[in-house]
Chains A and B, each alone.
Chain A
Amino acid sequence: MAKRIILGAVAVLLVIASAYASFYIAPEERTMGVIQRIFYFHVGSAWAGMDAFLVCFIANLLYVWRRQEKYDWLGVSSAEVGLVLTTVVLITGPIWAHPVWGIWWTWDARLTSTFVLWLLYVSYLLLRTLVEEQDRRALLSSLFGIFAFLDVPLVFGAIRWWRTQHPSPVIMGGQGSGLDPTMKKVFFFTVLAMNVFAGFLIVERYILEKLKHEVDILQREAEA
């Protein structure tokens, strides 16, 4: 319990610190102004979201192999957290784009791919609601999760190639492309903060799922 509180406290502190750094420590970007500061959270969430989906993939593989419930709990927890972070990416994208380009959405490669990613994991969670029996649900969603994750690089690759054929404005001005050193530090710090935060959320969600399962067992025993 103490460990959870410490993790939570550290996570929240890191996020607050990175917010502070984004607004006060990082230098202002020449062309875009203040709104560019959202880039740190936008990309930080994107990376943390992808890490969460990677955890989901590994949990899915482990479930299929081992058939232990804990891997199913980990799978659903990391998928949900990943989805939340991906939603943040999809919302901050237009928030950034509108003041800068005057448009909300440009079908930019990364944002579009992120949208498909979002759809894939919404489907993952939707599938879970449509299978009642728990072992079946765990197995089927793990298998779909595996297929979905294998699709992710193909989605990003395909859309990026598609965009080379039909170029359009790029919202996220390329992570590595000439970031000032202070910006780089703030950026990696935010990525770290978002990952730790994601980890904290996954742990909490996992524990919730575990408790739900224990309540179910008790309920069933009480009825029997």
Chain B
Amino acid sequence: MPPTSTLSPTGLLFENIDKRFGGLFALRRVSLEIAPGECVVLAGRNGSGKTTLLRVAARIVRPTAGKLSFPGASSESAGNGRPGYVAHTTMVYDELSAEENLILFAKLQGVSQPAARAEELLREVGLYERRTSLVRTFSRGMRQRIAIARALVHRPSVLLFDEPATGLDPLGISWLAKALGEVNRSGCTVVMSLHGESEISALATRAVQLDAGSIVADTKSGASLHSILTFGGS
């Protein structure tokens, strides 16, 4: 993955974020400051609020209370400081080809030369040979890769990744760790939710643990990476 050089380093600032679903609070007064360029792991059991926090950061979910901002985001960079977001589903169209999907998302976000950008990304994620195949025909690993390509199409300065390793074989995990490492090294802030330790968690510069919607541990305030990663998921 070549460096995404026109990035303006962007951080994330969550201020007292609440999110209520029905009667339950998925997030409860979450305040978190992520500096530009960090690679942050969110750990915690299922239902601890990791996915919700990422979706709030992606601005897909509107918080019940609180404020989210992206310090450092410049409106000149393509995508207007819009984060890239990868979730459990591909978030692309099964009935369109890989190429068509990337061109679609490139055009929507005002990426210049959408076709060229799509080709560039497809080569990087190793899907160039299947560029005209419908996404419906893709394997799990390929779906992961097209999802990443989609998230990166507008050269975001923040990448949000919900459980990247799910469903990947060891080869897939290695590839992903390498790719994420490159993305982070080129200046993109990465926030990802994980279960347990792996090649991917080794990339982390910081880890934060969530439990029942609140932050309970942070390597920034002295907790150990290992304890955060192993408590979550057990």
Name A residues whose Cβ lies closer than 8 Å to a Cβ of B.
67, 132-136, 216-217, 220
Q: Contacting chain A: which of B19-27, B84-92, B173-181?
A: B19-27
Q: Do the beta carbons of A217 and B23 come within 8 Å of each other?
A: yes
Q: Tell me how many residue pairs across A and B have CB atoms closer than 8 Å.
A: 15
Least CB distance from B72 to A in Å reads 30
Least CB distance from B70 to A in Å reads 24
- Which chain B positions have C-beta within 8 A of A216? 23
- Which chain B positions have C-beta within 8 A of A132? 22
Query: What total of chain B residues lie within 8 Å of the partner, measured CB to CB?
Result: 6
Q: Beyond the given A133-B21, A135-B21, could you list 13 further A-B residue pairs with CB under 8 A, ordered by the A residue number?
A: A67-B64, A132-B22, A133-B22, A134-B22, A134-B23, A135-B20, A135-B22, A135-B64, A136-B22, A216-B23, A217-B23, A220-B23, A220-B24
Least CB distance from B61 to A in Å reads 11
Mask of B181-195 contacts with A, CB within 8 angstroms, 1/0: 000000000000000
From A132, A135, A217, residue with most partner B Cβ within 10 Å: A135
A and B contact pairs by CB, cutoff 8 A, 13 listed: A67-B64, A132-B22, A133-B21, A133-B22, A134-B22, A134-B23, A135-B20, A135-B21, A135-B64, A216-B23, A217-B23, A220-B23, A220-B24
- Which chain B positions have C-beta within 8 A of A220? 23-24
User: Which residues between 80 and 117 of chain B lie within 8 Å of chain A, taking CB atoms?
Assistant: none
Of chain B, the residue at the smallest CB distance from A217 is B23
Of chain B, the residue at the smallest CB distance from A137 is B22
Of chain B, the residue at the smallest CB distance from A216 is B23
Of chain A, the residue at the smallest CB distance from B23 is A220
Least CB distance from A66 to B in Å reads 13
- Which chain A positions have C-beta within 8 A of B64? 67, 135
| Measured CA separation A58–B23 after assembly (Å) | 25
Interface majority SS on A: helix, strand, loop or mixed?
helix
| Measured CA separation A216–B21 after assembly (Å) | 14
Mask of B1-40 contacts with A, CB within 8 angstroms, 1/0: 0000000000000000000111110000000000000000
| Measured CA separation A134–B64 after assembly (Å) | 13
| Measured CA separation A217–B20 after assembly (Å) | 13
- Which chain A positions have C-beta within 8 A of B23? 134, 216-217, 220
| Measured CA separation A133–B19 after assembly (Å) | 13
Of chain B, the residue at the smallest CB distance from A224 is B24
| Measured CA separation A216–B22 after assembly (Å) | 11
- Which chain A positions have C-beta within 8 A of B22? 132-136
| Measured CA separation A136–B22 after assembly (Å) | 8
- Which chain A positions have C-beta within 8 A of B24? 220
Least CB distance from B134 to A in Å reads 33
| Measured CA separation A217–B21 after assembly (Å) | 13
Of chain B, the residue at the smallest CB distance from A219 is B23
Least CB distance from B20 to A in Å reads 6
From B20, B21, B23, B64, residue with most partner A Cβ within 10 Å: B23
- Which chain A positions have C-beta within 8 A of B20? 135
| Measured CA separation A217–B23 after assembly (Å) | 7
- Which chain B positions have C-beta within 8 A of A217? 23
| Measured CA separation A192–B110 after assembly (Å) | 59
| Measured CA separation A214–B50 after assembly (Å) | 29
Of chain A, the residue at the smallest CB distance from B65 is A67
Least CB distance from B225 to A in Å reads 31
- Which chain B positions have C-beta within 8 A of A134? 22-23
Of chain A, the residue at the smallest CB distance from B20 is A135
User: Which residues between 23 and 73 of chain B lie within 8 Å of chain A, taking CB atoms?
Assistant: 23-24, 64
| Measured CA separation A133–B64 after assembly (Å) | 14
| Measured CA separation A217–B22 after assembly (Å) | 11
Of chain A, the residue at the smallest CB distance from B22 is A133
Least CB distance from A36 to B in Å reads 51
| Measured CA separation A132–B64 after assembly (Å) | 18
Q: Which 5 A-B pairs have the closest CB atoms?
A: A133-B22, A220-B23, A134-B22, A133-B21, A216-B23
- Which chain B positions have C-beta within 8 A of A136? 22
- Which chain A positions have C-beta within 8 A of B21? 133, 135
| Measured CA separation A67–B24 after assembly (Å) | 17
- Which chain B positions have C-beta within 8 A of A133? 21-22
